[in-house]
Structure 1
Amino acid sequence: MMVVGASAVDLSDLGTEDRVAELRRRLAAMPGGGPPAAARSGAPVETVSVVAAAPVTAATVTAEPVTAEPAAAHPVPGGSAVVTPAASGTPVVPGVAVPGSVAPLLPGGVLPAGRVTAVSGSATLRVGLLAAATASGVRCAVVGWPELGVAAVAEQGGRLDCLALIPDPGPDAAAVVSVLLDGLDLVLLGPGVAAVAPSRARVLAGRVRVSGAVLLVGPGWPGAELTLAGRHCRYGGLGAGAGRLASVSTVVRCSGRAAPSRTAEWVAAG
């Protein structure tokens, strides 16, 4: 079963070739995004002179102070964000927008295009990443997460028409992911997708680099270049045993081979 926005299609009765063809057709019909992923990754990135604020979710955002100068985000075709650090002469970094307080943790302030990033801990962090990405027009897919509450994505400002859901990818999830990477900007693997062997992970990482997309995997995935770990620290709106949950505060820690370890607090609407 594949769901795009509120529309569902049952692929279970189709053969492999017809299933892939139908999957590609459905992905091509999704709004947002830009050129095919393979063409996007090979095209030069252009910036514009007008600076726009980085896309954020509807949630209230807080962040710890950082010493580096903030980056300026430029919207580009394809829905991805290109971030230019304030220092002159620094190359632009293509990638996908994230919640405002998470941006200072990442190189260039975005989920880097063509890279594999592991996300662990809080499910709220995964939802927030999907909301920020789809809100900027990025086409996303979630594989192997049937429990995902799409209402939570919408509540944080996400666009459900830019979100494809594949709750059960079948016995070969990696093959499904390969097809999705050809047509979408971001693919998130849910808890239902187990880590693959290092050799298979290297093949997928190569596909991610060629496509210029973003692949978000779970903890323990071989070869992930960055890790975002979320941990709930407090809840807003609750009194002494009563009240309505108004917000959830999550401590987010970023670490990886190409990034110093940093931590910030992100507040998402409850």
Structure 2
Amino acid sequence: MAALGSEQTPEVATTPGEDAVEVPSELSSVLPGGGLPRRQVMSLSNSPALAVEIISHITAAGGHVAVVGWSELLLAQVSEKGDLSRVVTIPDPGADPWSITGVLVEGMDVVFHHGPPVELSPARARPILARVRAGQAALVTVDARLPGTALKMDAHVVHYHGIGRGTGRIRGVDIAVRTEAKGLRPMSTTITCGQRGKKSRPKLRAV
């Protein structure tokens, strides 16, 4: 019984099916179905580095991503590892950001919706959830919350790469990820965003 209630740490990645959007292999192992669930809502803690890593992977594979209300999210890394032309950003969605998200979920693969940390009422959320189910996108909420969220992902930085004793700069981060889904045990893993080690500087030599 104790083993059944313990948190799982998977060792292998899961291949996503047609109802999931493919994500980095280290992350797929802790997601039911192996990817972000299409036509469902997933909540993500405020982790810009992980969001950018996911966006980079999805766009590099030919997918389309929209980001609503997250003006602070820096997408420079997407231009290096993914395809920035496949990203639609709405940094200032106006007075009714959920209506914009409701339109985008009908045609995108993934929509990130960032907003105040409050949960919509069931009546206000009903038309949005209906559009999510009718579309093809995986809706990822950051801070903002919708009732009936199928999956929750918590992420926080546990290690920085590239910094020595008083020298260097951050080239990558290790992020501890924990997911919770209804009816399943929590699962956890660690994913590296960016580069693992500090690049070696070219050495000069006499010839």
TM-score bin, normalised by smaller chain? 0.7 to 0.9
Deviations 1:73-97 (A, max 9, x none): xxxxxxxxxx3xxxxxxxx452111
1:209 corresponds to which of 133, 151, 157: 133
SS at match of 2:54: helix
CA contact (8 A) 2:21 2:35 kept: yes
1:198 corresponds to which of 109, 114, 122: 122
1:71 corresponds to which of 4, 10, 14: 14
Q: Which amino acid aligns with 1:164?
A: V
CA contact (8 A) 1:249 1:266 kept: yes
Distance 2:125 2:40 in 1: 12
Please report how far the alpha carbon of residue 115 of structure 1 lies from its aligned counterpart in structure 2 after TM superposition.
0.6
- What percentage of residue pairs aligned between the two structures are identical? 33
Q: Structure 1: 5+ residue runs without aligned partners? A: 1-63, 73-82, 84-91
Distance 1:176 1:121 in 2: 21
Query: Which residue matches 1:182?
Result: 106
CA contact (8 A) 1:140 1:163 kept: yes
CA contact (8 A) 2:13 2:25 kept: no
Query: Which residue matches 1:124?
Result: 49
Query: Which residue matches 2:88?
Result: 164
CA contact (8 A) 2:106 2:136 kept: no
Q: Structure 2: 5+ residue runs without aligned partners? A: 1-7, 196-207
- In the superposition, the TM-score normalised over structure 2's length comes to 0.82
Please report how far the alpha carbon of residue 193 of structure 1 lies from its aligned counterpart in structure 2 after TM superposition.
8.3
CA contact (8 A) 1:144 1:191 kept: yes
CA contact (8 A) 2:99 2:128 kept: no
Deviations 1:11-61 (A, max 9, x none): xxxxxxxxxxxxxxxxxxxxxxxxxxxxxxxxxxxxxxxxxxxxxxxxxxx
CA contact (8 A) 1:95 1:111 kept: yes
Query: Which residue matches 2:205?
Result: none
SS at match of 1:102: helix
Q: Which amino acid aligns with 1:140?
A: V
Distance 1:117 1:186 in 2: 11
SS at match of 1:137: coil
Distance 1:204 1:231 in 2: 29
Query: Which residue matches 1:135?
Result: 60
Please report how far the alpha carbon of residue 198 of structure 1 lies from its aligned counterpart in structure 2 after TM superposition.
2.6
Number of corresponding residues = 187
Q: Which amino acid aligns with 1:151?
A: A
CA contact (8 A) 1:98 1:133 kept: yes
What are the within-5 Å matches in structure 2 for residues 1-270 of structure 1?
A: 66=10, 70-72=13-15, 83=16, 92-155=17-80, 157-191=81-115, 195-219=119-143, 221=145, 222-269=147-194
Query: Which residue matches 2:203?
Result: none
Please report how far the alpha carbon of residue 191 of structure 1 lies from its aligned counterpart in structure 2 after TM superposition.
3.9
Q: Which amino acid aligns with 1:134?
A: T
Q: Which amino acid aligns with 1:240?
A: R
Q: For the aligned residues, what is the CA RMSD?
A: 2.1
Distance 1:240 1:100 in 2: 32
Please report how far the alpha carbon of residue 224 of structure 1 lies from its aligned counterpart in structure 2 after TM superposition.
1.2
Please report how far the alpha carbon of residue 219 of structure 1 lies from its aligned counterpart in structure 2 after TM superposition.
3.7
CA shift in 2, pair 1:134/1:258, >3 Å = farther
Distance 2:180 2:142 in 1: 14
- In the superposition, the TM-score normalised over structure 1's length comes to 0.64
